[in-house]
Amino acid sequence: MPANGIALIDKPAGFTSHDVVAKLRGVLKTKKVGHAGTLDPEATGLLVIGVGQGTKLMTYISGASKSYSAKVLLGKSTTTDDAQGEVLESADKSEIQNVDQAQLEKTVETFMGRQMQLPSKVSAKKIDGKKAYELVREGKEFELEPAEIEITKLEMTNFNKNEFIEFDLEVDCSSGTFIRALARDIGNSLGIGGHLTGLRRTRVGGFSVEGATEIQSAEPMSMLKAAKEILPIREVSDSEANDISFGRSLAYESEHEFLGLVHGDRLIAIASGGEKLSPKTVFND
The CATH number given to whatever domain includes residue 109 is 3.30.2350.10
Indicate if the alpha-carbon torsion angle 275, 62, 46, 267 is positive or negative.
Answer: positive
Average pLDDT, the chain: 91
Q: Is the pLDDT of residue 210 over 80?
A: yes
Residue 210 belongs to domain spanning: 5-64+205-226
Statement to judge: residues 169 and 196 lie in one domain: yes
Q: What local confidence, expressed as pLDDT, does residue 268 receive?
A: 95
Give the DSSP H or E segment for 68.
strand 66-74
Residues in the chain: 285
List residues bridging with 74 in a β-sheet: 165, 194
Residue 49 scores a pLDDT above 50: yes
Q: Which amino acid is at 102?
A: A
CATH of the domain at 268: 2.30.130.10
- Least Cα distance to 171 among 251, 233, 87, 109 occurs for 109
13 and 108 assigned to the same domain: no
Are residue 193 and residue 83 in the same domain, yes or no?
yes
- 92 in catalytic set: no
Catalytic hit among 10, 40, 81, 82: 40
Section 51-68 average pLDDT? 93
Average pLDDT of the residues in 54-62:
92
Instruction: State the amino acid at position 207 in one-letter form.
Output: F
Shared domain for 154 and 256, answered yes or no, is no
Q: Do 53 and 175 fall within a single domain? A: no
pLDDT of residue 56: 93
In terms of domains, do 166 and 256 share one? no
Comparing 35-39, 43-47, 119-123, the range with the smallest average pLDDT is: 119-123
Same domain, 173 and 254: no
Least confident stretch, 70-74, 135-139, 207-211, 232-236: 135-139
pLDDT at 122: 66
Region of poorest pLDDT, from 116-125, 177-186, 270-279:
116-125
pLDDT of the residue at 7: 96
Question: Looking at residue 284, what is its pLDDT?
Answer: 75
43 in the same domain as 78: no
pLDDT tens, residue by residue, 145-162 = 899 999 999 999 999 999
pLDDT in the model for residue 150: 98
Q: What is the pLDDT of residues 76-111, one digit of tens each?
A: 999 889 998 899 999 999 999 999 999 999 999 999
pLDDT (average), residues 266-281: 93
Mean pLDDT in residue range 132-154: 77
C-alpha span between 16 and 215 (Å, rounded): 13
Q: Which residue has the higher pLDDT, 39 or 107?
A: 107
User: Does the pLDDT of residue 135 top 60, yes or no?
Assistant: no
Residue 109, C-beta contacts closer than 8 angstroms, at least 6 positions apart? 154
Q: Clarify whether residues 79 and 175 are in a common domain.
A: yes
pLDDT band at 120 (very low <50, low <70, confident <90, very high): confident
Decide: 250 and 236 in contact? Cβ < 8 Å. yes
Residues 180 and 81 reside in one and the same domain: yes
pLDDT in tens, 228-268: 999 999 999 999 999 999 999 999 889 999 999 999 999 99
Are 79 and 188 in the same domain?
Answer: yes
The total domain count for the chain is: 3
pLDDT for res 121: 72
Instruction: Report, as an integer, the average pLDDT of 263-285.
Output: 91
192 and 75 assigned to the same domain: yes
Assign 62 a pLDDT band (cuts: 50, 70, 90): confident
- Give the pLDDT confidence score for residue 1 in this predicted structure: 47
Of the chain, the percentage scoring pLDDT greater than 90 comes to 80
Residue 278, CB half-sphere, CA atoms under 13 Å: how many?
Answer: 6
